A and B are shown apart, each in its own frame.
Chain A
Amino acid sequence: MNSVGKSYIKKDAITKVRGIEKYIEDYFFDNMVYAKIIRSPVARMLIKKIDYSKAEKIEGFSGYADYRDVPVNKVALVFEDWPCFPEKYANYYGEGIAIIAAENYEIAERCAKEVKIIYEELEPLLDPRKSVESKIKIFNKDNIFKSFNIEKGDVEKAFQEADLIVEGEFETHHQEHSYIETQGCIALPQPDNSITIYASAQCPFYVQKSVALCLNIPLNKVRIIQTAIGGAFGGKEDVPSVVCCQAAVLAMKIKRPVKLIYKREEDIISMSKRHPSITRIKYAVKKDGKIIGCEVDFLLNGGAYSSLSPIVLWRGTVHAAGPYNIPNVKIVSKAVATNTVPCGAYRGFGQPQSCFSAESLIDEIAQKLNITPYEIRKINGLKVGDTTATSHYLDHSVGYLDTLDAVVNKTNYLTKLKEYKEINKQSKRIKKCIGLSSMYYGVGLGAGGRYLARAGAYIQVTPDASVILAVGNTDMGQGAKTVLAQIAAEALGCNYDDINILDVDTALVPDSGPTVASRTTVMSGNAIIEAAKSIRKNIDAVAMDLLNISNANDLINKDGYFLNKNNESKKVSFKEVVKECWNRRLHLTSQGWYVSPECTFSADKGQGDAYFIYSYASYIVDFDLDIETGIMKFNEITCAVDFGKAINPQLCEGQIQGGNIQGLGWAVYEELKYKDGKILNPNFTDYIIPGTMDIPEKMNVILIEKEYNKGPYGAKGLGECPLIGIAPAIRNALFNCVNIKINKLPLTPEKVLKEIKEKKNEEEKNE
């Protein structure tokens, strides 16, 4: 490998450290106005009138738009229930009702305050457990956005034959993405009635589709240009469609560029979140530790609009039994509507929720059988030749047990687990805790998004041998530009520095689906390799000519040079070959198109190949618990991920560390508070994301590279894996080392303290 497997510096690192990278707020256009959204002050209401009369009188006011100005009042996500601006009912606190604009932001804020919504407050539906039966109807007749059913083998029989049945109910909470750059876009109406939108959006093609629908114009009249993205994590997958439609409608109405940047508070109250969940799960186990059955009932609170709930639910459901070879599985699931903030994509996409319940219960099985959490996983963990819950036969690239052994060996887990229990018997205040968990992750959209499972790439080799590369998947900080440039350099035979990769522009490449599901490396990577192939035909032919080689097998490429395998002293550079190609007027431009392998999964029984390949991960979290305060002091997180070939190891480490800490935030620090459906803490003072003082002393990252034979140079997918299993690892540490069982996230000091006190009271009672 020449370019793959090396830690090149990021393509955008220099502009970012110099502060000259351009994010959406850094763009200014002539005649541009600044917009502000008018929002619902309650969780559910009937809109009677929107009165702009006072705002219109303010000097500098430049226009407004609401439902009356939207040609087709629908935002195109999975379903089309989310309106651009609601006409009759607003369904959650913070929902955008109207948009106004002014000559500068300060005036826009003043105008927004003067817009009066006349409304009737209605009783909201807030409890997801009561959603289906509720008289309040938010979505269809039953408030169910989507349900799934997975049936493998005979679960009833398995539970009859079990030596041990372990069950539990688990709850998880919202998570706010907390990208440091809030949502934003600039909509520029064009003279020919088309529109160009610059946006902080991780899925420009989603936005294109939504804006075209909303404005009722064809896709070729909507151009989306992605700007540098200041963090996304799924939070800029679904909702930028809402933000961009809002701005687009106003821009088309007033025929001026509209800049719409959300302030932090409105971003937190109105933009999508990680779905809260309630899971009932039970395992049927034999004495020897073999799990023979699993039954799961998985419920997601989708909030007021369906957004991506159907596919978040699908991913959470498919993975709900855990990374284990279980012959009999039954999973039922549904996502329901409530009058709370809509939930959508968030790194992990339904999996952190179902992983929390499965991985917690696995440790309870181990305790009941008097074996270690390691052994129960070793006995049941997926390996080559096993099948998943959907009966997907795993034929290669299965690194689950490697990740498990790696974290256990690295931390000396088995010894520490014993030691800590002994130490804790003596120690009065500080308890030592260590916990283990693991997961598997279907890479890409899989069967749930099979029609979007394609990607394009465009390569142009210019006469001076520098290369222009355009792709359809975005860099949101994770390093996609860098990794894809490395793949392009490898495939073309040039150097990494020769590649200039452009930000995504819907005019440059065909609809490549979304930048989600850890799919970019595989999908865009393979599209690039496809595109490079036809260019290499010309380049290789000329290189052979220049080197007087007659057998194509004798031509090799090394560090930007072409050589004769049998006589490496003679070489010709990529640049020289390209120059000669242009002299001969050969075509060095190409479009690549990659379609992922078919997934056979069918929805009726939920069986078949759900994804084309899986990544695997294991996690160990080590911390000290102060039982007087409930505070955890984190010593070490160890995480091993099998994600196939590491194209850029340093970026991979960054993904793993960052994902681990986001998982830590969800597990112990982050908690949205509500009253009557209103979010009470839409800021970083009261919604605590991990800061420099909150992270572990040490982070161990282990890369396991079980190559995928259809991945670009063996790569699978990584981005989401590091987050998913952190919460159950912490929960399991508390369970095993201090014997407290908390099945509801987050594991805040208050909650831990309460459990400790209750346990103490119980013990005193028993004495």
Chain B
Amino acid sequence: MSEQIYYDIECEINGEKIKKQVPSNITLLNFLREYLKLTGTKEGCGKGECGACTVIMNGKAVNSCLVPITQVNKAKILTIEGLSNDEQLHPIQEAYIKAGAVQCGFCTPGFIMSTKALLDEKPEPTREDIKKYLAGNLCRCTGYEKIFEAVELAAKSLKKK
């Protein structure tokens, strides 16, 4: 049996500087959930197939289950917990609620983070853009229609601000 190797990680998560020693073979998802107890990021498949673990790393949406912890060093990570504070929801979160885009909610944090990355990149996406950008996120409950409506609604309300 090979011995466990540890790794010193330094990064910024939801605006907070994090310094920790962790096993070198864990993923970013594992780090968030088990070591920081940031459980809003979900594991649906562990293989980058479902998008439930989507977070934003250095401005780009990534499947955190596929990111080795060693790649996270010096990175800036935004998770669902960092999107809003206790008082005020982010307009994307509000839009998901208003459009009825949340059913079981297990895929929701991943969808919302992908939506954030999309709207940062393209503030006025077409329906086609939305479909393409969210193609890596699976939802089994909604049939996606209300999720698309939520993204469009979010784009509108972000534009107003």
- A181 interfacial contact with B, CB 8 Å: yes
Q: Contact at A693–B106, with CB atoms within 8 Å? A: no
Q: Are the C-beta atoms of B89 and A231 separated by less than 8 Å?
A: no
B1 within 8 A of A: yes
Write out the residue numbers on chain B whose beta carbons fall within 8 Å of the beta carbon of A662: 140, 143
Residues of A1-22 whose CB lies within 8 A of B: 7, 9-10, 12-22
Cα of A3 to Cα of B109 in the assembled complex, Å: 29
Partner of A231, one of B45, B81, B104: B104
Which residue on chain B has the smallest CB distance to residue A637? B143
Interface size on A, residues (CB 8 A): 61
**Within 8 Å of chain B (Cβ to Cβ): is A597?**
no
Q: Is B64 an interface residue (CB 8 A)?
A: no
Given contacts A17-B89, A23-B42, A650-B100, contact A180 B142 (CB under 8 A): no
Q: Once the chains bind, are B44 and A181 in contact (CB under 8 Å)?
A: yes
Cβ–Cβ contact B93 & A17, under 8 A: yes
Tell me whether A653 and B100 are in contact (CB under 8 A).
yes
Quick one: which of B33, B46, B108, B135 contacts A264, CB cutoff 8 A? B46
Q: Which applies to chain B's interface (DSSP): helix, strand, loop or mixed?
A: loop
Is A179 part of the contact surface with B, judged by Cβ < 8 Å? yes
B40 touches A18 (CB 8 A): yes
The proximity string for A residues 589-621 relative to B, scoring 1 for CB distances below 8 Å and 0 otherwise, is 000000000000000000000000000000000
**A9 near B98 (CB under 8 angstroms)?**
yes
B107 at the interface (CB under 8 A from A): yes
A19-B79, A20-B40, A230-B106 known; A14 vs B97 contact (CB < 8 Å):
yes
* B residues adjacent to A (C-beta < 8 A): 1, 23, 25-26, 33-34, 37, 39-47, 49-50, 52, 79-81, 83-84, 89, 93-94, 96-98, 100, 102-109, 112, 130-132, 134-135, 137-148
> What separation, in Å, do the CA atoms of A15 and B141 have in the docked complex?
17
- The 8 A CB mask of A699-729 against B (1 = contact, 0 = none) is 1000000000000000000000000000000
Q: Which of A146-154, A246-254, A472-480 contacts B (4 or more CB under 8 A)?
A: A472-480
Inter-chain contact B145/A657, CB cutoff 8 Å: yes
With A and B bound together, what is the CA distance between A689 and B102 in angstroms?
Answer: 18
Specify which of B40, B43, B44 is in contact with A19 (CB 8 Å cutoff).
B40
C-alpha spacing A106/B5, complex, angstroms: 13
Contacting B47 at CB < 8 Å: which of A12, A18, A264? A264
List of A residues within 8 angstroms of B23 by Cβ: 106
Cβ contact within 8 Å between A18 and B100: no
Most buried by B among A17, A181, A231, A651: A17
Contacts of A182 in B (CB 8 A): 44
For the complex, is A384 an interface residue (Cβ under 8 Å from B)? Answer: no
Tell me whether B144 and A695 are in contact (CB under 8 A). Answer: yes
Are A685 and B47 neighbours in the complex by a CB distance under 8 Å? yes
Alpha-carbon distance between A702 and B159 when the two chains are bound, in angstroms: 32
CB within 8 Å of B: which A169-221 residues: 177-182
List 21 A-B pairs, Cβ < 8 Å.
A9-B97, A12-B102, A13-B97, A13-B105, A17-B93, A18-B89, A19-B81, A19-B83, A23-B39, A106-B23, A177-B140, A180-B140, A230-B42, A263-B46, A478-B141, A657-B145, A658-B142, A660-B143, A692-B131, A692-B144, A692-B147
